[in-house]
Structure 1
Amino acid sequence: MSPDVEHAKRALRAELRERRQLLSEQQREVAASGITAQLDELVAAHDARSISCFLSTTTEPDTREFIIGAVRRGIRVLLPITRADGLLDWAVADDTDDVAEGLFGLPEPTGEVLGPIAVNDVDLMIIPAAAVDAEGTRLGWGRGYFDKTIGSMENCPPVYAVTYDSEVLDSLPRELHDQPVTGVVTPTRTLHLSHERP
């Protein structure tokens, strides 16, 4: 890992984290409604019956309303559970707001825990991001869970990252292990970016 690239990523994450913390409650609510509408359209466009998503933290674009709505429409939604070994377990979402606190203080589902390979059956993956660029490079929060998961999948479905509009950037620092995303979903639009996975 290049120290320069790692330093650039760390500085950018800090700046993006600070920007998110400055958003007002009203801005967050408007963003949450937009994200729900965009994700609903994305799922419909892919005719997805089984998806993976994530429980948003308080500073991320809110995914909870989308998850509950999808479950109530009969879509199977898998939510990630972090493990100490760097892999993700998964649990099937229900239409309640029950959450537990996982590693790193992240919100996680409370349902039956399924192993890492459970995600291999989804039609669409929706993952968190700090930022995404025009080439589909995704900047995560530095722990590598989603890069490892995507990189290990034999038949990876389309992968869309969720960010705020201001977090779609022209270019991002990229390393070999960084897995590109198919597209990005913001409160106002869905962009389709990379068409082929390496």
Structure 2
Amino acid sequence: MNETDNDNPPAGVKAQWRARMKAGRAAISAQQRVLEAAALTEAVAGMAATTMCCYVPFGSEPGSIALLDVLLERGTRVLLPVVPAEPGPLDWAEYTGTSALAKGNLRPVLEPQGPRLGPKAIAEADVVLVPALAVDRSGVRLGRGAGYYDRSLSLVSATAELVAVIRDTEFVDQLPAEPHDVRMTAVLTPSDGLRRLPSIEPSL
């Protein structure tokens, strides 16, 4: 496996990348995760957005619910994904606080229990924080393989900032890409905060 795979890679290439990145995450200590989450929260607090699509991290994903609460406190409208019962784009609902979160269709992922806004609600976001296992310097994102975000990101506003939230070691030179990939415009890492990708025109 290397970082020079071309478009239309074999399915096994992405599977190898996923296994490699998941193994790296499994080795991170709980203390380190807490420190990273605090750094990400501080970085997000400085981002300007009226509406922001976020996510509730689970397992070893970087981020925290505290990040969502900071956005609420400053008056940002926060939308969280709701996993549909059948394959398709993500639904969305507004985050109003931890008391309104419960396990959804994709356990143990927590989802807001308020009114469903529909898949097209993602188009209302100025910024979309996207979970990822890795991102390369051209904005190619490696997800978990379920395809929920692949189906959803095509619905975003043309001016939205697409920000993949990853660890510093998960920002790599090149990932295997496919024609349907929606590329990220920036990455958010614990050490560097928001880093816009040079090949993409900033929209904020």
Question: Does the TM-score normalized on the shorter chain lie above 0.5?
Answer: yes
- Structure 1 stretches of 5 or more lacking a match? none
Listed one character per residue, the Cα deviations across residues 55-97 of structure 1 (whole Å, up to 9, x for unaligned) are 1112111231110111121110000011123211101011325
Secondary structure class of the residue paired with 2:114: coil
Supply the distance in 1 between the matched residues of 2:94 and 2:18 (Cα, whole angstroms).
Answer: 30
Tell me the equivalent position of 2:187. Answer: 184
TM-score w.r.t. the length of structure 2 is: 0.87
Alignment coverage as a number of residue pairs: 192
Residues in 2 aligned to 1:108 and 1:5: alpha-carbon distance in whole angstroms: 33
**2: distance between equivalents of 1:97 and 1:20?**
28
Letter in 2 for 1:170: D
- Which of the pair is proportionally richer in helix? 1
Q: Is the 8 A contact 1:87 1:145 kept in 2?
A: yes
Paired amino acid for 1:113: R
User: Contact 1:125 / 1:157 at 8 angstroms: preserved in 2?
Assistant: yes
Q: What do the CA deviations read for 1:113-138 (whole angstroms, capped 9, x no partner)? A: 21111121111111100000011111
Deviation at 1:156, TM superposition (A): 4.9
Residues 1:154 and 1:36: Cα distance change in structure 2 (over 3 Å): closer
CA contact (8 A) 1:120 1:156 kept: no
Structure 2: stretches of 5+ with no match in the other structure: 1-6
User: What is the identity percentage for the equivalent residue pairs of Structure 1 and Structure 2?
Assistant: 35
Tell me the equivalent position of 1:51: 52
TM-score by length of 1: 0.90
Distance in 2, Cα, partners of 1:149 & 1:108: 16
CA distance in 1, matches of 2:93, 2:166: 23
Secondary structure in 1 matching 2:10: helix
1:29 maps to which of 31, 34, 59: 34
Letter in structure 1 aligned against 2:64: T
